[in-house]
């Protein structure tokens, strides 16, 4: 026992005294009433800026009376009592012992405090309704980026690589600067699809904090597909794009006995009245529009070429192969648009015949664009390429985009 006391006295005299004390007052360590010691600290690990509580004995009762270091790096003391110090892990600290100094006396922890770098965390959540990664030119990829950057955001970007080519930034400097002010939270992004059909696009969100040299990244890959074949990642019905819009569909009016006047948007077939009568009743009722010429009184005539809902044929004095099973379709004239750039999303989200003025028959003209909704809820667009002939013997050429419903 004398030897232990002797050694302690020598250490104090040389200014090198450093002790820790355990919670159960281990008898191998001096525990005099005036001895400075560290019992424990919590948590046992953390990043720079984390709060750590140090328990022990004979600390100074004021923050200024204590000096705390983490492996030699001086920490800020936030609060102090004689048995508890609340401190902040300093920038630059590395894994090692915690030391407390009071009036030249030092105590050291028996175990290391582990400095753990809190790297940025990011996750990407595409729209929950996406079923595929196929998108059309003109659609947008919607996704939510969740981001937490404890050390402070230094750099943020979204880069796009097409078919493996070198990635390029999607954001302007102004957008990147605005995002740089944010260190956590959820942000929704809408990325326009504007690359060539057939391209494979990889979007990479990258984040770097003030403490790291490497970026933390998360990616999303999608394929650019032809018109009507994406449906915004399968969120909306795909489209029948008849003849790839290269060859129009031809319809003849009631006075044209060579070309059918009935059209089925589900498969692009054209029927004469006789051909329609030969169909099964289930097939017949899927014919959703007719082409005919009306007179001034609104019945079959020779003046105004119209698209007509099948359920009106009998009442307007046209041949009617449907009987009491005639399907109903509504039409609306639309503003001028680039027919080749209409997407599945456009058809589903823009066409709405539940409000506004819709018609069961509509007069058509060259270059006109018309929307339709049939009795099954199928939506589509029609572009009139030409209307030729005279009297009740007319021919029209149309291009059609029509939804494919399950």
| pLDDT tens per residue, range 58-90 | 999 999 999 999 999 999 999 999 999 999 999
- What is the C-alpha separation between 343 and 324, in angstroms, rounded? 35
- What is the C-alpha separation between 203 and 222, in angstroms, rounded? 8
- Nearest by Cα to 371 from 400, 397, 345, 394: 400
Report pLDDT for 149.
82
Q: Is the CB of residue 84 less than 8 Å from the CB of residue 39?
A: no
- Out of 3.70.10.10, 2.60.40.10, 3.40.50.150, 3.40.630.10, select the CATH number for domain 2-115: 2.60.40.10
Q: Is the CB of residue 379 less than 8 Å from the CB of residue 329?
A: no
3-state helix, strand, coil in the chain (%, to 5): 15, 45, 45
pTM of the predicted model, to two decimals?
A: 0.74
Average the pLDDT over 137-165 and give the result.
88
Average the pLDDT over 129-158 and give the result.
89
- In tens, the pLDDT along 371-393 reads 999 999 999 999 999 999 999 99
- Nearest by Cα to 247 from 230, 270, 266: 270
Domain ranges in the chain are 2-115, 121-234, 239-403
pLDDT at 232 over 70: yes
Report pLDDT for 198.
97
Q: Is the CB of residue 254 less than 8 Å from the CB of residue 246?
A: no
Report pLDDT for 5.
30
Please give the order of strands across the beta sheet that includes 216-225.
134-136, 216-225, 200-209, 153-162, 168-169
Average the pLDDT over 125-154 and give the result.
90
- Nearest by Cα to 287 from 302, 275, 304: 275
Fold observed for domain 121-234: Immunoglobulin-like (2.60.40)
Q: Is the CB of residue 349 less than 8 Å from the CB of residue 329?
A: no
Which one is predicted more confidently, 172 or 90?
A: 90
pLDDT at 6 over 60: no
- Nearest by Cα to 229 from 81, 339, 149, 342: 342
Q: Residue 12's pLDDT band (boundaries 50, 70, 90)?
A: very low
pLDDT at 49 over 50: yes
Dihedral sign computed on CA atoms, order 46, 52, 57, 62: positive
pLDDT at 29 over 70: no
- What is the C-alpha separation between 101 and 240, in angstroms, rounded? 79
Q: Residue 180's pLDDT band (boundaries 50, 70, 90)?
A: low
- In tens, the pLDDT along 264-309 reads 999 999 999 999 999 999 999 999 999 999 999 999 999 999 999 9
Question: Residues, the chain, total?
Answer: 406
Report pLDDT for 182.
59
The pLDDT mean for the chain works out to 88
Residue 55 neighbours by CB under 8 Å, 6+ apart: 38, 39, 40, 41, 83, 84
Average the pLDDT over 96-100 and give the result.
97
Residue 130 neighbours by CB under 8 Å, 6+ apart: 232, 233, 234, 235
Report pLDDT for 346.
97
The burial of 97, by beta-carbon neighbours within 10 Å (0-12 exposed, 13-18 middle, 19 or more buried), is given as middle
Report pLDDT for 179.
62
| Residue 150, phi then psi, degrees to nearest 5 | -60, -35
Confirm whether 2-115 and 121-234 share one CATH topology: yes
């Amino acid at each position: 026992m004398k030897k232990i006391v002797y050694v302690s006295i020598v250490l104090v005299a040389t200014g090198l005294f450093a002790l820790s004390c355990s919670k159960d007052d281990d008898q191998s360590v001096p525990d005099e009433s005036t001895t400075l010691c560290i019992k424990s600290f919590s948590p046992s690990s953390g990043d720079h800026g984390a709060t750590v509580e140090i328990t022990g004995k004979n600390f100074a009762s004021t923050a200024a009376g204590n000096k705390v270091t983490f492996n030699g790096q001086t920490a800020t003391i936030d609060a102090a009592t004689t048995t508890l110090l609340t401190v902040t892990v300093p920038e630059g600290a590395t894994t090692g012992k915690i030391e407390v100094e009071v009036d030249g006396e030092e105590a050291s922890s028996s175990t290391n405090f582990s400095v753990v770098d809190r790297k940025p965390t990011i996750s990407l959540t595409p729209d929950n309704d996406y079923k595929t990664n196929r998108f059309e030119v003109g659609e947008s990829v919607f996704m939510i980026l969740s981001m937490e950057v404890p050390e402070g955001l230094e750099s943020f970007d979204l880069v796009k690589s097409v078919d493996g080519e070198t990635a390029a930034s999607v954001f302007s400097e102004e957008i990147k600067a605005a995002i740089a002010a944010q260190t956590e939270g959820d942000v929704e992004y809408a990325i326009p699809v504007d690359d060539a059909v057939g391209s494979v696009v990889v979007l990479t969100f990258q984040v770097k904090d003030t403490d790291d040299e490497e970026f933390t990244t998360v990616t999303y890959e999608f394929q650019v597909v032809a018109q009507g074949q994406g449906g915004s990642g399968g969120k909306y019905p795909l489209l029948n794009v008849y003849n790839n819009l290269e060859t129009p569909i031809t319809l003849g009016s009631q006075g044209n006995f060579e070309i059918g006047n009935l059209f089925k948007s589900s498969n692009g077939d054209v029927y004469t009245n006789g051909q329609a009568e030969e169909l099964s009743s289930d097939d017949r009722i899927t014919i959703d529009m007719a082409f005919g010429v009306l007179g001034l009184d609104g019945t079959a005539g020779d003046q105004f070429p119209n698209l007509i809902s099948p359920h009106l044929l009998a009442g307007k004095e046209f041949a009617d192969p449907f009987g009491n099973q005639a399907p109903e379709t509504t039409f609306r004239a639309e503003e001028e648009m680039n027919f080749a750039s209409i997407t599945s999303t456009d058809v589903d989200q823009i066409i709405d015949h539940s409000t506004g003025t819709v018609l069961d028959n509509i007069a058509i003209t060259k270059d006109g664009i018309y929307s339709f909704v049939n009795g099954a809820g199928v939506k589509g667009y029609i572009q009139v390429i030409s209307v030729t002939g005279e009297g009740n013997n007319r021919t029209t050429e149309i291009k059609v985009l029509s939804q494919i419903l399950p």
